[in-house]
């Protein structure tokens, strides 16, 4: 399976999970808050901080029947969230200084071109753009890796987009996603992660909108190479996505938990050095139940197995029966091979 190279960071099976703190529009148009989000995500150990790049006029029509959210139209909302090229460059520089990768999601070709000027290492494609083949083709032509979310879609639509991206020679990964805010766990459909991996042979992750970190942890055990969670400093901040976002303590727990799970995912089955040291204490050996005279033929009534495991292993009891005692062996003693002839 090919891996994604996001800057110098390899993403895919066998690599550390790529943890994305989705700041989105949680800055609410305030550049200072955007800086705070970068700093907090870096301190929590996330690999990436991701924003959303909105250019309202390029993105949508300003029509009155647009979905209304929090007493303003969607057009008005995203207009307030617009960041300039200079502000994007400022945020990328801040992220670089903090040692965290800066990414953003374009919602128009103009936004994609703006991000190309910023020099992003990859493009995150939102679920709403999964079937937007004109935009996908435009982004694919920029020749950077693409991380494509698949919310609001069925498997047939995902397969069609995969075929389209391959026809454009794009390098990409997929994110299982449920576009509900928040998403109940029963709608997470985590087994889609290995299904995508098997069907499409690309890195797959989870863009997780459930509350808490349990679902994300489970996705890692199923092979997710990427995990994305909406992130905020405080759910008390204004903005439409705050209630579906995790705060710094939760992000730190997400990172800690994923790294612990990664270290536990190993197919090797062999005792550790510590376990080997415990074998003598907890395993059993062949012992005498009664005194055995020298020269006596050992019968099953004379021996059984008890701890410790420092004598003849219990698994060898059948081989002890029928042997002759080379010396007298007292009752309740470990039997050693040198005692037998």
Q: Which residues contact 193 (CB under 8 A, 6 or more apart)?
A: 176, 204, 205, 206, 219, 222, 223, 224
CA distances from 279 to 264, 310, 337 (A): 22, 8, 19
Tens-digit pLDDT profile for residues 146-170: 999 999 999 999 999 999 999 999 9
| Spatial contact of 162 and 133, defined as CB atoms under 8 Å apart | no
Q: What is the DSSP string of 172-225?
A: EEEEEE---SSPPGGG--TTHHHHHHHHH-S-EEEEE-SSSSHHHHHHHHTT-S
Q: What is the pLDDT along the chain (341 residues), one digit of tens a residue?
A: 889 999 999 999 999 999 999 999 999 999 999 999 999 999 999 999 999 999 999 999 987 555 545 567 888 889 999 999 999 999 999 999 999 999 999 999 999 999 999 999 999 999 999 999 999 999 999 999 999 999 999 999 999 999 999 999 999 999 999 999 899 999 999 999 999 999 999 999 999 999 999 999 999 999 999 999 999 999 999 888 888 899 999 999 999 999 999 999 999 999 999 999 999 999 999 999 999 999 999 999 999 999 999 999 999 999 999 999 999 999 999 999 999 98
SS3 of 123-171: EEECHHHCCCHHHHHHHHCCCCCEEEECCCCCHHHHHHHHHHHHHCCCC
136 C-beta neighbours (distance < 10 Å), count:
23
Q: Give 299's Cβ-side CA count (13 Å radius).
A: 5
CA distance 62 to 198: 42
Which of 175, 7, 28, 234 minimizes the C-alpha distance to 102? Answer: 7
Task: Determine the length of the chain.
Answer: 341
CA–CA dist 153, 156 (Å, integer):
8
Give me 132's structure tokens.
Answer: 């937007």
Q: Are strands 4-6 and 48-53 parallel, antiparallel or unpaired?
A: unpaired
Q: Are residues 144 and 170 in contact, defined by beta-carbon separation less than 8 angstroms?
A: no
What's the whole-model pTM score? 0.91
What whole-number distance in Å separates Cα of residue 209 and Cα of residue 191? 16
Structural domains in the chain plus CATH codes: 11-264 (3.20.20.70), 273-339 (3.90.1210.10)
Question: Is the peptide bond between 182 and the residue preceding it cis, with omega within 30 degrees of 0?
Answer: yes
The token duo for 272 is 């550790």
């Amino acid at each position: 399976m090919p891996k994604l190279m996001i800057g110098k960071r390899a993403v895919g099976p066998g690599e550390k999970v790529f943890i994305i703190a989705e700041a989105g529009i949680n800055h609410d148009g305030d550049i200072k808050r955007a800086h705070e989000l970068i700093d907090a995500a870096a301190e929590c150990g996330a690999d990436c901080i991701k924003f959303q790049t909105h250019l309202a006029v390029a993105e949508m029509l300003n029509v009155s029947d647009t979905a209304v959210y929090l007493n303003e139209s969607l057009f008005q909302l995203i207009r307030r969230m617009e960041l300039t090229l200079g502000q994007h460059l400022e945020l990328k520089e801040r992220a670089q200084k903090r040692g965290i990768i800066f990414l953003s999601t374009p919602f128009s070709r103009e936004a994609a071109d703006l991000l190309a000027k910023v020099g992003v290492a990859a493009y995150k494609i939102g679920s709403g753009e999964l079937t937007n083949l004109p935009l996908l083709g435009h982004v694919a032509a920029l020749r950077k890796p693409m991380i494509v979310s698949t919310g609001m879609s069925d498997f047939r639509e995902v397969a069609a987009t995969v075929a389209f991206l391959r026809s454009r020679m794009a390098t990409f990964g997929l994110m299982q996603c449920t576009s509900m805010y928040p998403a109940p766990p029963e709608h997470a459909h985590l087994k889609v992660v290995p299904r995508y991996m098997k069907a499409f042979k690309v890195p797959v992750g989870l863009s997780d909108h459930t509350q808490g970190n349990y679902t994300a942890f489970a996705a890692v055990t199923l092979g997710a190479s990427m995990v994305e969670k909406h992130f905020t400093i405080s759910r008390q901040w204004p903005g439409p996505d705050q209630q579906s976002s995790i705060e710094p303590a939760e992000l730190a727990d997400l990172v800690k938990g994923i790294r612990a799970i990664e270290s536990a995912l190993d197919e090797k089955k062999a005792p550790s050095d510590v376990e080997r040291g415990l074998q003598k204490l907890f395993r059993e050996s062949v012992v005498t139940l009664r005194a055995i005279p020298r020269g006596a033929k050992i019968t099953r009534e004379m021996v059984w197995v008890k701890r410790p495991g420092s004598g003849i292993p219990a698994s060898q009891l059948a081989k002890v029966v029928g042997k002759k005692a080379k010396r007298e062996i007292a009752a309740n003693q470990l039997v050693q091979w040198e005692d037998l002839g």
